[in-house]
Amino acid sequence: MSDTKTKKKRKEKPPIEEPLLAPGHRACSGCGESLGAKLVMDAAGPNTYATCCTGCLEVFSTPYPESAWKMPWIHSLFENSSAVAAGIEAALIAQGRDKDVNIIAMGGDGGTADIGIGCLSGMLERGHNILYVCFDNEAYMNTGVQRSGLTPFDARTSTSPPGKRSWGNKTTKKNLPGIAGAHGIPYVATATVGYPNDLINKVKKALKIQGPKYMQVHVPCPLGWIHPTDQTIEIAKLAVLTGLIPIYEMEYGEVTRVRKIGKNRRPVEDYLKPQGRFRHLFAKGAEAEEELEKIRQIAEDNIKKFGLA
């Protein structure tokens, strides 16, 4: 008997589907936002329409006349990704083509929490069957790393520089998932590129739900956070394990599921030290220790509020 007959026939692997966000775009090395967008689109599948406001994601994926998007995709103004998505839904309904179609509106933290919060609120209030995804890299990275409403406390940005009169950004992160949940919508979730399977599952879950949905995805930015490009995933995980970025789901304004950290909890310093935007907090002296204690308290409050321990 020949060797060819005795060998077991290998199972052929299914062909890999073409990603909706194609490789070869111009994102920075280690960009958490490009990874987050790819995961969202891979979860959504090809029957998807997407809108995106001005920001890093729009700039690195669509340098004229090129595009990395492999499905219907619209870029409009900084503030109105959600409004344009609502218009797409209305047009598809009018044409009778709204069945089994995913509509996703996207924006960064600036275009979502600040400039676009009015349009987002309107989309949620009117009840459009749209998933809004905020890619939260915690500053206006595309225009020079200016602070946004989602920039963390004491972080260095170009408009919140630390110095003799300041330790950095003076405000804490805006509770945008809570604001979205206060609209009484059926689904709100937070996620991170540090846990990709969780992110993918939440996107799939959201798209099965009728009505408006909001997801906030934490995406490290090596350029703005000033960390090594090969540490994006590790830093994303540390944000969760320190309690600074709680991962949870809400339904109709009530928290229904949380990702507990338990015995895996890490001190906030493990998350802060690798990032140049927090380097000033490790200066010697009692005042620096007082600032670190404030950040520790933010983590403690999150752990208590969401029952993360």
Q: What is the pLDDT of residue 283?
A: 86
Element at 257 (helix H, strand E) = strand 254-258
Q: What is the pLDDT of residue 11?
A: 57
Ramachandran angles phi, psi of 127, nearest 5° = 85, 30
Q: What is the CATH number of domain 18-306?
A: 3.40.50.970
Provide the pairing of β-strand 187-192 with 213-218. parallel
Q: What is the pLDDT of residue 160?
A: 97
Q: What ranges do the domains of the chain cover? A: 18-306
Q: What is the pLDDT of residue 69?
A: 96
Q: Which residues contact residue 42 at a Cβ distance below 8 angstroms, ignoring those fewer than 6 apart?
A: 19, 20, 200
How far is the C-alpha of 40 from the C-alpha of 35, rounded, in Å?
Answer: 9
Task: Kindly report the number of other CB atoms within 10 A of residue 225's CB atom.
Answer: 24
Q: Residue 211, CB half-sphere, CA atoms under 13 Å: how many?
A: 15
Q: What is the pLDDT of residue 6?
A: 45
Element at 214 (helix H, strand E) = strand 213-218
Integer-rounded Cα Rg, in Å, for the chain is: 21
Mean pLDDT by 10 residues, the chain (309 residues): 48 66 94 98 95 96 94 94 98 95 98 97 98 98 97 98 95 98 98 98 98 98 98 98 98 98 97 97 90 98 97
How far is the C-alpha of 169 from the C-alpha of 115, rounded, in Å?
Answer: 18
